Structure 1
Amino acid sequence: MDWSRTKSIFIWVFLILNLFLYTQYLESYNEGQLIEVLGETTKKIEARLKEDNITYIALPNNNESAAYYSGQIKKFSPAEIPYSANQFTQIENENKLIVTMEKPVKLQENGGRNPFLEFLYNNVQEGDSYVLWNVDEEKREATFFQKVNNLTLYYNVRGYVKIYWDDENRVYAYEQTMLEKHEKLDKQQNLLTAIQVLQILDNKNLLKPDSQILEMNIGYSTIVQLTQTQVFAPTWEVRVKLKDGQEEIHFVNAVQGKIVELQNDLSEIVEETEDLEE
């Protein structure tokens, strides 16, 4: 059996499958939603939000553009893991590092920099390619998401870092996954404006009366997570403070205007993907 040739055939089959999934995903969008958004003037949208007492900070008003990107799941090998006298590293399923600190590292600021970022940059491989997303003081966990094209990639189980600390504010362990070989898949796309995204959310009754838009950012969401090569779409992140003080986060495809449903528990994503891959 010619194993080399068989291996090449499998690689090409998976590449074609990934491109097919990507094309099918784009074609499946409902373009009517975008047409509906563009049909109203900015003044009408603002009036509707005002009527529901939905307030917002100064919205990004620049005409942004971005492209779809792809990336591959990083498979770690023992030979390429940087040696550290204070770190014991295990590799799980080839794509996750589980690192235990031999001597816990004290969280501390440096030059005013966030202590979690300070630890990340000093102790984690390619730490500057991640951005802080959430700090859970109760669980003593801090979650970082990887960046694609210098923008946050939201909730991808193959591109995150999570660090754990004790009651003395000392990091004793962290875990890491990584996506590599990011490539632009198409030309730059004109993105929906912030006010158009708010209209989409309002049309879907996702913006509740008396709420406040706290922040709007452009990042990326993953189209398909269950293949070795993954595709990322430009995505608006919208943070909303409700009347009762709680916070919601909505994601909207920044090109097509589709509401993006993201699983926000990385551990649950791992279980689901493992079940599907078996």
Structure 2
Amino acid sequence: MDWSRTKSIFIWVFLILNLFLYTQYLESYNEGQLMEVLGETTKIEARLKDDNITYIALPNNNENAAYYSGEIKKFLPEEIPFFPNQITQIENENKLIVTMEKPVKLQESGGRNPYVEFVNGHVHEGNAYVLWDVNEEKREATFFQKVNNLTLYYNVRGYVKIYWDEENRVYAYEQTMLEKHEKVDKQQNLLTSIQVLQILYGKNLLKPDSQILEMNLGYSTNVQLTQTQVFAPTWEVRVKLADGTQEIHFVDAVQGNIVEIQNDLSEIVEQTEDMEE
């Protein structure tokens, strides 16, 4: 008997067997992982249904995004953007207080929102801001600056607020700006929309008989009082409660933490200026 040949045959048989078993293991493991994900998804969907928490259409994506940084814009007197019909003052080096010599009528143009139309036409780099809130009672509209083309939520150093009178004429606005946006880290895999709902549900932040109105991806700021700031990818979740009121929740899109954001910009401004003084 040729033992050398027989030995080689046994070695090849064992290699093929091991390769087959390893392949079976991988298939079983991946199937288990998939079933676990599907199981968790099915479980949270069932729980939402049981609590009559509804949603129309969730973002269906496997997005990724990076952390970004930015610097607080300091406005120098000689660098104040010039617009006709405007008187501009600098407050604390980083905020422009602008008064219109002749109030400007809010009006639509080409079907565009009148507030957006005003900011794009009368504010320095106005298209770098996105409309966030309109308060008809106070007659003011708030815009947040964009980072990586996504909304930067409630950063006192990156917003525009416009004010108008009873005749819908803008008579003043204020502006702060973050500049030199740079990618800080590599692209990060983000939590999916259903994973975010699972986190909110687990924290008892989704109440029975409520409706998920929309989910958007944006950025939140880790620290707001330094010259250079870092922005983290963040999910914004808008929820309509049974009584008709609305809540907005923010979730870190990478870590899954609930982001506590002070949502009164005027109070943030006041507190920040007190600290600086």
CA distance in 2, matches of 1:84, 1:185: 34
User: C-alpha offsets along residues 222-276 of structure 1, whole Å, 9 cap, x if unaligned?
Assistant: 0000100000000000000000000000000000000000001111112222333
Q: TM-score, normalised by structure 2?
A: 0.85
CA distance in 2, matches of 1:84, 1:129: 17
- Secondary structure (helix, strand or coil) at the match of 1:41 reads helix
CA contact (8 A) 1:226 1:277 kept: no
The amino acid across from 1:263 in the alignment is Q
Tell me the residue number matched to 2:126: 127
* 1:234 to 2:207 alignment: no
User: C-alpha offsets along residues 39-88 of structure 1, whole Å, 9 cap, x if unaligned?
Assistant: 96211110010011000011111101000000000000121222223000
Q: TM-score, normalised by structure 1?
A: 0.85
Q: Which runs of 4+ in 1 moved over 6 A?
A: none
- CA 1:38–1:70 in 2, change beyond 3 Å: closer, same or farther? farther
CA distance in 2, matches of 1:173, 1:181: 27
What's the offset of the Cα at 1:38? 6.5
User: C-alpha offsets along residues 76-111 of structure 1, whole Å, 9 cap, x if unaligned?
Assistant: 012122222300000000000000000000000000
Tell me the residue number matched to 2:245: 246
CA distance in 1, matches of 2:228, 2:275: 16
Q: Equivalent residues in 2 for 1:87-236 (5 A)?
A: 87-236=86-235
CA distance in 1, matches of 2:53, 2:241: 10
- CA 1:189–1:90 in 2, change beyond 3 Å: closer, same or farther? same
- Secondary structure (helix, strand or coil) at the match of 2:145 reads strand
CA distance in 1, matches of 2:37, 2:263: 30
User: C-alpha offsets along residues 151-181 of structure 1, whole Å, 9 cap, x if unaligned?
Assistant: 0000000000000000000000000000000
Identify which range, 55-64 or 129-138, moves more after superposition. 55-64
What's the offset of the Cα at 1:128? 0.3
CA distance in 2, matches of 1:261, 1:126: 29
CA contact (8 A) 1:38 1:196 kept: no
CA contact (8 A) 1:54 1:210 kept: yes
- Secondary structure (helix, strand or coil) at the match of 2:255 reads coil
Identify which range, 75-84 or 236-245, moves more after superposition. 75-84
CA distance in 1, matches of 2:130, 2:268: 20
CA distance in 2, matches of 1:275, 1:240: 33
Q: Which has the higher contact order (CA 8 A, sep 6+)?
A: 1
CA distance in 2, matches of 1:222, 1:40: 34
- Secondary structure (helix, strand or coil) at the match of 1:251 reads strand
- Secondary structure (helix, strand or coil) at the match of 2:259 reads coil
CA distance in 2, matches of 1:237, 1:229: 24
In the alignment, structure 2 segments of 5+ residues that lack a partner are 1-35
CA distance in 1, matches of 2:125, 2:99: 17
Instruction: Quote the sequence identity (%).
Output: 83
CA distance in 2, matches of 1:93, 1:50: 51
Tell me the residue number matched to 2:13: none
CA distance in 2, matches of 1:104, 1:133: 23
CA distance in 2, matches of 1:206, 1:49: 12
- CA 1:46–1:173 in 2, change beyond 3 Å: closer, same or farther? same
Tell me the residue number matched to 2:12: none
The amino acid across from 1:228 in the alignment is Q
